[in-house]
Chain A
Amino acid sequence: MAVIGSEPSAAPLLSVENLHVTFHGDEGTVQAVRGVTWELRSGEVLGIVGESGSGKSVSVASILGLLPSPPAVVSGGPITFEGRNLLSLSERELRAIRGKDIAMIFQDPMTAFNPVQTIGHQISEAIRVHDRGVKRAAARDRSIELLSLVGVPSPAARFDQFPHEYSGGMRQRAMVAMAIANQPKLLIADEPTTALDVTIQAQILELLEVVRRETHAATILITHDLGVIAEVADRVLVMYAGKVVESTSILPLFQSPRHPYTLGLLGSLPRLDVNMETLFSIPGQPPDMAHPPPGCAFAPRCSLSRDRSLCRAEEPPLIRVGEAWSACHFVEEMEHEAEVVSHEVGMDIRVGES
Chain B
Amino acid sequence: MTASPAASADIHTTLSPGEQLLQVDDLAVEFPIRSTILRRTLGTVQAVAGISFDVRAGETLGLVGESGCGKSTTGLAVLRLIEPSGGSVVFRGHDLSRLSPSELRPFRREMQIVLQDPFSSLDPRLTVRSILAEPIRVHQMAEGKRLRERVDELLELVGLRPDHGSRFPHEFSGGQRQRIGIARALALGPQLLVLDEPVSALDVSIQAQIVNLLERLQDELNLAYLFIAHDLSVVKHISDRIAVMYLGKIVELGTRDEITTAPRHPYTKALLSAVPIPDPTRRGLGRRIVLQGDVPSPASPPSGCRFRTRCWKAQAICAEVEPTLEGSSTQLAACHFPEPGLLDILPASHQ
Q: Indicate whether A and B are direct neighbours in the complex (CB within 8 Å).
A: yes
Q: A residues near B, CB below 8 A?
A: 51-52, 153, 167-170, 197-203, 205-206, 224-231, 250-251, 253-254, 264-273, 276, 278-283, 285-286, 301, 351-352
Task: Report chain A residues within 8 Å CB of B230.
Answer: 197-198
Alpha-carbon distance A227/B275, docked complex (angstroms):
8
In angstroms, how far is the closest chain B Cβ from the Cβ of A45? 12
In angstroms, how far is the closest chain B Cβ from the Cβ of A299? 15
Task: Report chain A residues within 8 Å CB of B281.
Answer: 251, 254, 351-352
In angstroms, how far is the closest chain B Cβ from the Cβ of A253? 8
B84-92, B209-217, B341-349: which lies at the interface: B209-217
- Known contacts being A198-B230, A264-B205, A265-B205, is A270 close to B211, with CB within 8 Å? yes
Task: Report chain B residues within 8 Å CB of A226.
Answer: 204, 278
Query: Is B207 interfacial (CB 8 A cutoff)?
Result: yes
B26-34, B38-46, B97-105, B286-294: which lies at the interface: B286-294
Alpha-carbon distance A200/B203, docked complex (angstroms):
21
Q: Are A230 and B276 in contact (CB under 8 A)?
A: yes
**Ranked 4 nearest A-B pairs via Cβ:** A227-B276, A268-B208, A270-B237, A51-B203
Q: Mark B106-126, 1 if CB is under 8 A from A, else 0.
A: 000000000000000000000
Task: Report chain B residues within 8 Å CB of A269.
Answer: 204, 208, 233, 278
Q: Are B66 and A227 in contact (CB under 8 A)?
A: no
Alpha-carbon distance A169/B66, docked complex (angstroms):
13
- Known contacts being A51-B204, A197-B66, A285-B206, is A279 close to B276, with CB within 8 Å? no
Q: Are A230 and B278 in contact (CB under 8 A)?
A: yes
Q: List 13 A-B contacts (CB under 8 A).
A: A167-B294, A198-B274, A198-B275, A201-B276, A202-B273, A202-B288, A203-B290, A225-B276, A227-B276, A230-B277, A254-B279, A254-B280, A271-B277
Cross-interface CB contact of A199 among B260, B282, B291, cutoff 8 Å: B291
Alpha-carbon distance A206/B236, docked complex (angstroms):
25
Q: Are A279 and B211 in contact (CB under 8 A)?
A: yes
Query: Is B315 interfacial (CB 8 A cutoff)?
Result: no
- Binding site secondary structure of chain B: helix
Alpha-carbon distance A280/B288, docked complex (angstroms):
28
Cross-interface CB contact of A227 among B236, B270, B278, B290, cutoff 8 Å: B278
Q: Are B279 and A228 in contact (CB under 8 A)?
A: no
Task: Report chain A residues within 8 Å CB of B52.
Answer: none
In angstroms, how far is the closest chain A Cβ from the Cβ of B178? 12
Task: Report chain B residues within 8 Å CB of A270.
Answer: 208, 211, 231, 233-234, 236-238
Alpha-carbon distance A351/B206, docked complex (angstroms):
23
Of residues A250, A266, A273, A280, which shows the largest number of chain B Cβ atoms within 10 Å of its Cβ?
Answer: A273
Alpha-carbon distance A352/B281, docked complex (angstroms):
8
Task: Report chain A residues within 8 Å CB of B166.
Answer: none
- Known contacts being A170-B294, A285-B175, is A271 close to B276, with CB within 8 Å? no
Alpha-carbon distance A51/B272, docked complex (angstroms):
25
Q: Which residues in window 56-93 of B have CB below 8 A to A?
A: 66-67
Task: Report chain B residues within 8 Å CB of A285.
Answer: 173, 175-176, 206
In angstroms, how far is the closest chain B Cβ from the Cβ of A110? 14
Q: Are B233 and A271 in contact (CB under 8 A)?
A: yes
Q: Are A271 and B278 in contact (CB under 8 A)?
A: yes
Q: B residues near A, CB below 8 A?
A: 66-67, 173, 175-176, 203-209, 211-212, 215, 230-234, 236-238, 260, 270-283, 288, 290-291, 293-295
Alpha-carbon distance A175/B246, docked complex (angstroms):
27
Cross-interface CB contact of A281 among B209, B272, B283, B288, cutoff 8 Å: B209
Cross-interface CB contact of A268 among B66, B204, B275, B280, cutoff 8 Å: B204
Q: Are A281 and B212 in contact (CB under 8 A)?
A: yes
Task: Report chain A residues within 8 Å CB of B294.
Answer: 167-170, 200
Alpha-carbon distance A282/B202, docked complex (angstroms):
13
Task: Report chain B residues within 8 Å CB of A281.
Answer: 205, 208-209, 212
In angstroms, how far is the closest chain B Cβ from the Cβ of A228? 5
Given A198-B274, A230-B282, A278-B215, output 7 extra A-B contacts at Cβ < 8 Å. A51-B203, A170-B294, A198-B231, A251-B280, A266-B278, A270-B237, A272-B260
Closest residue of B by beta carbon distance from A200: B294
Closest residue of B by beta carbon distance from A279: B208
Task: Report chain A residues within 8 Å CB of B206.
Answer: 51, 285
Alpha-carbon distance A229/B283, docked complex (angstroms):
11
- Known contacts being A272-B236, A276-B237, is A282 close to B208, with CB within 8 Å? yes
Alpha-carbon distance A230/B237, docked complex (angstroms):
20
Task: Report chain B residues within 8 Å CB of A228.
Answer: 276
Closest residue of B by beta carbon distance from A282: B205
Of residues A52, A199, A351, which shows the largest number of chain B Cβ atoms within 10 Å of its Cβ?
Answer: A199
Alpha-carbon distance A227/B211, docked complex (angstroms):
19
In angstroms, how far is the closest chain A Cβ from the Cβ of B28? 23
